[in-house]
Amino acid sequence: MAEKNIQTKFIFFTGGVVSSVGKGLTAASLGRLLKERGFKVGVQKLDPYLNVDPGTMSPYQHGEVFVLDDGAETDLDLGHYERFIDIHLNKDCNVTTGQVYAEVISKERQGDYLGGTIQVIPHITNEIKRRIMKVAETSRADFIMLEVGGTVGDIESQPYLEAIRQLRNEIGRDHTFHIHVTWLPYIGATNELKTKPTQHSVRELRSMGITPNMIIARADQPIDDSLCEKIALFCDVEKKAVIPMQTLNSYYEVPLVLEKYHVGEYLLEHFNRKPLKKPEWQQWNELVDAVHNPEREVNIAIVGKYVELHDAYISVREALNHAALAHKAKLHINWIHSCDLEKGNGWDELKQAAGIVVPGGFGNRGIEGKIAAARYARENKIPYLGLCLGMQMMVVEFTRFHLQNEKANSTEFDEHTPLPVIDLMPDQKNITDKGGTMRLGLYPCDLTPGSIAARAYKISQVEERHRHRYEFNNAYREVLAEKGLVFSGLSPDQRLVEIAEIKDHPFMLGTQFHPEFLSRPSRPHPLFNEFMRVALELSR
């Protein structure tokens, strides 16, 4: 099945003890270490749930849906990978159990396995291996960071571990490296960190036939050397392959900590490879320096309806962070629930903010709160950045005010509104399936010379990532343009409004796309950067 002469090396990441210990971030950071050494790095995240993709899941369940260039709706960890390694991923980079089973069952229906009984081993595991090898082939990467979602011991992740075990034998042990990321619980009464759960988790992994080559031990407290020695002894890994990773002030420090423990060298030695170039950490160090030594602070309000779970807006938060750091400012986010604004709460927090972001979203709840935030920003000339739904609500507010009709709306929320300024896209009209059917992925956008958008981007055409069903209704273009709405970004055929902004306002701009997905730590997105620049300037 797997080619024996494959050049790609695989670095497998599994999680132990508990989830959410930063396995994705660690893998992304290690990817960056290898990229800094001149290698081509690929990524694959294996998610053990039965959804085909996270696109249909509530943000409360899963956090943000990260959209790729090709329109794939993926796990938010892919965002960490893109940002940390500074690469563009594609749909092959996120595999779910739902996709694997759908493929196997569809082949069974076509008669591909005629006569056979379809089983987890070998049919499901073969399909997993096929997908792993496919990403190696298409990415032509020297190294693939391959992360198994969840925690070792979960029933759901077993087929993945079995596939990885088989793959190791098929492509050769010198092509694979296993990193187990675990958590050391802290016992307050005795003031100590415990390694026992890590030992058990490694035992569990070994019972699946996988022996880790490296253990990354996470904890909130300092992890002393004797603990690493103990882990090495009980888990049968070299002492220098036990990497203590205490929770850091900022996760931009993770690559630097891995560097400090010579993780890159250890890995390359295992694979018998020499670095192709010397790592260049200057830009990254400047970033960490900006985190630790800010020259000023800035409050930005995010008005959304999933604000209890910050992961639901992780790329927005990151893009704001990148922009703040570029201006040597420390970012504080005032998380404001749009439903609260409707009830008269949260206004003080909104008024303290130097800028307001209204991010994307779906469904009726909290809509009027978002519109109220847009009204406040417009009337008080507070910098406002609307992302997808945030752009749509900016337009609704503008229409309500200038056409003096509070019934103006998006038909997503009021089918019978007399002023449907936001309406379903024509090619969405006959779609009933929910999964993967929105307008998704990269589309080009021409910028209008002289606009704030053109000033921010400094180029005339851009490509941005989308995820929506509704759009600006062109029937209202002329009348709203007369009132001062500027259509500063249009699809090349001029049919679709991609960016709208408000005249005579320092920065009130909304995008139908999601610029947050393309922002990078050392290269903030131009719109976020300009929004931040204006917010800082006006709040001086």
From 388, 501, 505, 530, the catalytic residue = 388
Q: Is 516 a catalytic residue?
A: yes
> What is the C-alpha to C-alpha distance for residues 323 and 530, in angstroms, rounded to an integer?
8
**Contact letters for ligand GLN, residues 400-419 (x by CB under 6 A):** ------------x-------
Q: Is 379 a catalytic residue?
A: no
Minimum CB–partner distance for residue 245 and ligand GLN (Å): 34
Minimum CB–partner distance for residue 71 and ligand GLN (Å): 13
Tell me the C-alpha to C-alpha distance, in Å, between residue 11 and each of 42, 138, 246, 443: 10, 17, 22, 33
- End-to-end, the C-alpha distance of the chain in Å comes to 63
Taking CB under 6 A as the rule, does residue 423 contact ligand GLN?
Answer: no
Q: Is 514 a catalytic residue?
A: yes
- Tokens linked to 171: 């492509």
Read off the amino acid at residue 248: L
Taking CB under 6 A as the rule, does residue 470 contact ligand GLN?
Answer: yes
> What is the C-alpha to C-alpha distance for residues 190 and 148, in angstroms, rounded to an integer?
34
Taking CB under 6 A as the rule, does residue 271 contact ligand GLN?
Answer: no
- Given the complex with ligand GLN, which of 42 and 59 has the nearer CB atom? 59
Piece in contact with ligand GLN (CB under 6 A), picked from 85-93, 177-185, 347-355, 465-473: 465-473
Piece in contact with ligand GLN (CB under 6 A), picked from 155-163, 201-209, 262-270, 354-362: 354-362
Q: Which of 273, 332, 375, 469 binds ligand GLN (CB under 6 A)?
A: 469
Contact 256, 280 (CB under 8 A): no
Residue at shortest CB range from ligand GLN: 360
Piece in contact with ligand GLN (CB under 6 A), picked from 37-45, 467-475, 479-487, 501-509: 467-475
> What is the C-alpha to C-alpha distance for residues 460 and 264, in angstroms, rounded to an integer?
40
**Percent of the chain as helix, strand, coil, to the nearest 5:** 40, 20, 35
Minimum CB–partner distance for residue 314 and ligand GLN (Å): 14
Piece in contact with ligand GLN (CB under 6 A), picked from 127-135, 235-243, 355-363, 487-495: 355-363
Q: Which of 45, 305, 327, 467 binds ligand GLN (CB under 6 A)?
A: 467
Q: Give the total of residues touching ligand GLN (CB under 6 A).
A: 10
> What is the C-alpha to C-alpha distance for residues 388 and 378, in angstroms, rounded to an integer?
18
- Given the complex with ligand GLN, which of 147 and 412 has the nearer CB atom? 412
Tell me the C-alpha to C-alpha distance, in Å, between residue 58 and each of 62, 272, 321, 364: 6, 44, 25, 14
Q: Which of 93, 356, 389, 490 binds ligand GLN (CB under 6 A)?
A: 389
Contact 316, 511 (CB under 8 A): no
Minimum CB–partner distance for residue 389 and ligand GLN (Å): 3
Minimum CB–partner distance for residue 388 and ligand GLN (Å): 3
In order, the DSSP letters of 349-413 are HHHH-SEEEE----SSTTHHHHHHHHHHHHHTT--EEEETHHHHHHHHHHHHHHTT-TT-EETTT
Taking CB under 6 A as the rule, does residue 388 contact ligand GLN?
Answer: yes
> What is the C-alpha to C-alpha distance for residues 366 and 349, in angstroms, rounded to an integer?
17
Minimum CB–partner distance for residue 479 and ligand GLN (Å): 21
How many Å separate Cα 313 from the centre of its chain? 9
Secondary structure element (H or E) that encloses residue 232, with its range: helix 225-235
Minimum CB–partner distance for residue 485 and ligand GLN (Å): 18
Q: What is the sign of the dihedral through the CA atoms of 145, 151, 157 and 160?
A: positive
- Given the complex with ligand GLN, which of 428 and 539 has the nearer CB atom? 428
Piece in contact with ligand GLN (CB under 6 A), picked from 8-16, 451-459, 462-470, 489-497: 462-470
Taking CB under 6 A as the rule, does residue 468 contact ligand GLN?
Answer: yes
Phi-psi region of 436 (alpha: psi -120 to 50; beta: other; left: phi over 0): left
Secondary structure element (H or E) that encloses residue 314, with its range: helix 314-326
From 318, 514, 525, 530, the catalytic residue = 514
Taking CB under 6 A as the rule, does residue 360 contact ligand GLN?
Answer: yes
Residues engaged in binding ligand GLN (CB under 6 A): 360-362, 388-389, 412, 467-470
Residues serving a catalytic function are 388, 514, 516
